[in-house]
Structure 1
Amino acid sequence: MASAAFEEIAETFEFLDDWEDRYRHVIELGKAMDPLEEAFRVPATKVDGCASQVWILPRIEGQGPDAVFSFQGESDAMIVRGLIAVLHALYSGLTVDEVLKVDAGGELARLGLNDHLSAQRSNGLRAMVERIRKLAGETVAAA
């Protein structure tokens, strides 16, 4: 149940045999993202559980389970910024109900990220996924 943007990343990863090439691709994805304005880098948008500084600002259009989910993100670490871009591709454009149904672990495993990220980075990635799921869940619950 991944978005078309995530499927494109997964297809690119299939062609990149070497993990270093994949790592560089993730960093390039992060560089291509629009930066999060400094005004939004506040405790309310900060993701706890990440070794790096990470902020996620939700952009939800509509209400209830059919509201469309998107977000902006930022990190002070290039690889983490790239991971935010991967998560953006995975979740943005889905309804909040669909966000809650995404098997993030399974989808990210397709990229082989779990095998090549440090324990700290893996924990941070999980914390970002949990934050996204929490934001989506709050939108559904508010309906």
Structure 2
Amino acid sequence: MNSIQERQEEIIEEFSMFEDWMQRYEYMIELGKSLPLIDEKHKTEENIIKGCQSRVWVYAEMDDDQVDFTADSDAIITKGIIAILIRVFSGQKPEDIINAKTDFIDEIGLKEHLSPTRANGLVSMIKQMKMYAIAYNSQQNNKA
């Protein structure tokens, strides 16, 4: 299993292959098509990311000692954004997700190429994924 840092470096490398942002947007749309989709039963109000312009659902569950994420969105670019975040965080330990830096987002230039509402949504998605990790981490610590 690759670490969060290794996954982020892979994404930076992939994005550096594209010369302009139209190509990067197209790549993000392609990534969104490969998103592990959330089960319809988890498309609930409590799994909607607050602060997103579009509707984004993120669901997390613990599998052994790792958090697995699934998601969906009604906007293709947003689907690509959440696909990138899932690729980075899914299958990782809660503590690693909590402590992860997300500098790779700035390195690939994503935040600066999003509208202000989408950039806010990106921050909200990261925050929600970290909140899931915090909840699972405290559950693990209570069991110990």
Q: TM-score under structure 2 normalisation? A: 0.89
* Alignment pair present for 1:48 and 2:50: yes
Q: Show the counterpart of 2:60.
A: 58
Counterpart selection for 1:108 from 97, 105, 110: 105
User: Which blocks of at least 5 consecutive residues in structure 1 are unaligned?
Assistant: none
User: Which blocks of at least 5 consecutive residues in structure 2 are unaligned?
Assistant: none
User: For 1:78-130, what per-residue CA distance to the aligned partner results, in whole angstroms no more than 9, with x for missing partners?
Assistant: 000000100011111211000011112x1211211011000000000100000
Native 8 Å contact 1:3 1:89 kept in 2: no
Q: Trace 1:23-42 onto structure 2 (pairs within 5 A).
A: 23-42=25-44
Distance 1:120 1:135 in 2: 23
Native 8 Å contact 1:36 1:73 kept in 2: yes
Which moves more between the two structures, 79-88 or 40-49? Answer: 40-49
Root-mean-square deviation over aligned CA pairs:
1.4
Counterpart selection for 1:87 from 77, 85, 88: 85
Distance 1:79 1:6 in 2: 19
3-state SS in 2 of match to 1:17: coil
Deviation at 1:70, TM superposition (A): 1.8
Q: How many residues align?
A: 138
Deviation at 1:134, TM superposition (A): 0.5
Q: Show the counterpart of 1:9.
A: 11
Identity of aligned residues (%): 30
Letter aligned with residue 48 of structure 1: K
Distance 2:87 2:12 in 1: 10
3-state SS in 1 of match to 2:62: strand
Native 8 Å contact 2:95 2:137 kept in 1: yes
3-state SS in 2 of match to 1:34: coil
